[in-house]
Amino acid sequence: MEMVVRQVRLSDEQPLMDIGIRGGRIAAIEESLDRVGEEEIDAEGRVAMPGFIEPHLHLEKAFVHRRLPARSGTLEEAIRVTGILKAKQERSDVLERSRRVLDMAVRSGTVFVRAHPDVDPIQGLIGVETALELKDEYKDLLDLQIVAFPQEGLLKTAGVIDLMEQAIAMGADVVGGCPYNELSWDDTCKHVDKVFDLALKHDLDIDMHADFADDTDDRRFAAAEYIARKTIDTNYRGRVALGHMTSLGALTSEQAKPVIDLLREADITIVTLPATDTYLGGRKDDARPRRGLTPVRALHAAGVNVAYSSNNIRNAFTPFGKADPLQIGSLLAHLIQFGTPEHQLEVLRMGTSNAARAVGLSDQYGLAVGKPADIVIFDTFAFGDVLLDIPPRSWVLKRGRVTVITRHESRICRGCGHAHS
């Protein structure tokens, strides 16, 4: 074996296990592995999980929160402020800020990122170009998948469709969409249609920012039903992910049920973005402010695949964040009131196996023999404590190679009698 990880906890109900790794893949999982590794890690009973997946992350927009601070905290302001800053993008600056995000993600145990760079005449293709460069630069640390994302719309902004084609020709992996950012409901539908046309033409998956509002008064912000029917009609089941989906949370359970049933039938993944959505949502509510979140509990109960992600890191959309899926998972668990032990484990699945399904990675993901050895080992000793402790990531492995080692020491000096400088 090239690597053996000794004494890891994969479940609170099972004994400690050893993991043998060969050729970057898991070759054995046994209670007491009798083979020796060229390199070995003694986890001493710490919890191990498959590495985290970030299915919705904006790299080139990160860390601009102090350059032109937002004041009202609305979606409209965030789009406007970001548009101003996008016009000033410089390649070296985009790369530096993107690396900061990716380094945070790697340290947090993330092994796969689906990035959503903007494609529009304001910043051109700089987001795609830099993401492609980083894809190669970080290939030994994490896998980077690129979505061509038309933030400024496809119809209302001239030239975007040509830029989308260029982005795909350059190597973008997924066709993105932003159907609410058009001038009419009819154009929103045409936007969705064009996204599917591009995806079908190039045989690529789809990932759209959809249903991003507090309510459903404006149909442009509530396109879930249209997208689900389009997915079914084009036989694109299992190949579509939708981010945000917040206006769905403004419906009563009776109103939402037929839409949720359609999402399940279409096998669409919903990626909730709790940091952004709760920060921007409910801004006009004087009493009982809404959480501005998609109805995760109802979607989960109905069998819809739900994942979560960080979305933005320190900009007008989200002036917080450190690209840590456990931090976002903890926030989500609070917001959707998933506090039972079973619910907490389900939140962990939303950041791992559910997210892997969102990015089309299910067949090549998980702690099982034959799967890539993408593993995170936490500095905690009970599986049920991972979400509670948000512990340091003691080791992170990408394809069986150690990429992160964290040593954390904290002492409480209670009457120790020593002088400290």
**Could you tell me what percent of the chain has a pLDDT over 90?**
87
Q: Please provide the CATH number assigned to the domain covering 52-364.
A: 3.20.20.140
Averaged pLDDT for residues 357-361: 97
Tens of pLDDT, residues 105-159? 999 999 999 999 999 999 999 999 999 999 999 999 999 999 999 999 999 999 9
Considering the entire predicted model, what is its pTM?
A: 0.95
Q: Are 144 and 110 in contact (CB under 8 A)?
A: no
Helical pair 325-336 and 341-350, crossing angle rounded to 10 deg: 130
Read out DSSP for 135-193?
HHHTTTT-EEEEEEB-TT-SSSSTTHHHHHHHHHHHT--EEEE-TTSSSSHHHHHHHHH
Residue 372, pLDDT above cutoff 70 = yes
Phi, psi of 193 (to 5 degrees): -60, -45
Compute the C-alpha angle 281/282/285, nearest 5°. Answer: 165
Band (pLDDT 50/70/90 cuts) for residue 415 is: confident
Question: Can you give the residue ranges of every domain in the chain?
Answer: 3-50+366-405, 52-364
Residue 18, pLDDT above cutoff 80 = yes
Q: Are 215 and 250 in contact (CB under 8 A)?
A: yes
Phi, psi of 270 (to 5 degrees): -105, 125
Q: From the DSSP assignment, how many helices (H) and strands (E) are in the chain?
A: 13, 16
Per-residue pLDDT at 1: 92
Averaged pLDDT for residues 25-37: 95
Per-residue pLDDT at 379: 97
Averaged pLDDT for residues 288-298: 91
Residue 420, pLDDT above cutoff 70 = no
Per-residue pLDDT at 369: 98
Region for 347 from its dihedrals, namely left if φ exceeds 0, alpha if ψ lies in -120 to 50, beta otherwise? alpha
| 144/125 Cα distance (integer angstroms) | 17
Alpha-carbon distances, residue 64 vs 39, 80, 313, 324 (angstroms)? 41, 14, 9, 18
Residue 387, pLDDT above cutoff 70 = yes
Given 3-state DSSP classes, what are the helix, strand and coil percentages for the chain, each rounded to the nearest 5?
A: 35, 20, 45
Per-residue pLDDT at 253: 94
Tokens of 231: 């997915």
Helix (H, G, I), strand (E, B) or coil at 271: strand
Tens of pLDDT, residues 256-274? 999 999 999 999 999 999 9
Averaged pLDDT for residues 324-348: 97
Region for 244 from its dihedrals, namely left if φ exceeds 0, alpha if ψ lies in -120 to 50, beta otherwise? left
**Could you tell me what percent of the chain has a pLDDT over 70?**
99
Tokens of 164: 């989308």
Per-residue pLDDT at 283: 86
Q: Are 305 and 354 in contact (CB under 8 A)?
A: yes
| 306/347 Cα distance (integer angstroms) | 9
Largest CA distance in the chain: 74
Q: Which amino acid is at 204?
A: L
Tokens of 374: 């993408």
Q: Output 311 or 415, whichever has higher pLDDT.
A: 311
Q: Please provide the CATH number assigned to the domain covering 3-50+366-405.
A: 2.30.40.10
Give the DSSP H/E element, type plus range, for residue 227: helix 224-233
Per-residue pLDDT at 411: 80
Tens of pLDDT, residues 43-96? 999 999 999 999 999 999 999 999 988 888 888 898 889 889 989 999 999 999
How far apart, in Å, do the first and last CA atoms of the chain sit? 46
| 108/168 Cα distance (integer angstroms) | 30
Give the DSSP H/E element, type plus range, for residue 278: helix 274-280
Band (pLDDT 50/70/90 cuts) for residue 421 is: low
Compute the C-alpha angle 55/58/61, nearest 5°. Answer: 170
Residue 402, pLDDT above cutoff 70 = yes
| 370/388 Cα distance (integer angstroms) | 31
Q: How far is Cα of residue 344 from the mean position of the Cα atoms in its chain?
A: 18
Tokens of 289: 């402010």
Could you identify the residue written with the tokens 């506090």?
A: 339
Tens of pLDDT, residues 221-254? 999 999 999 999 999 999 999 999 999 999 999 9
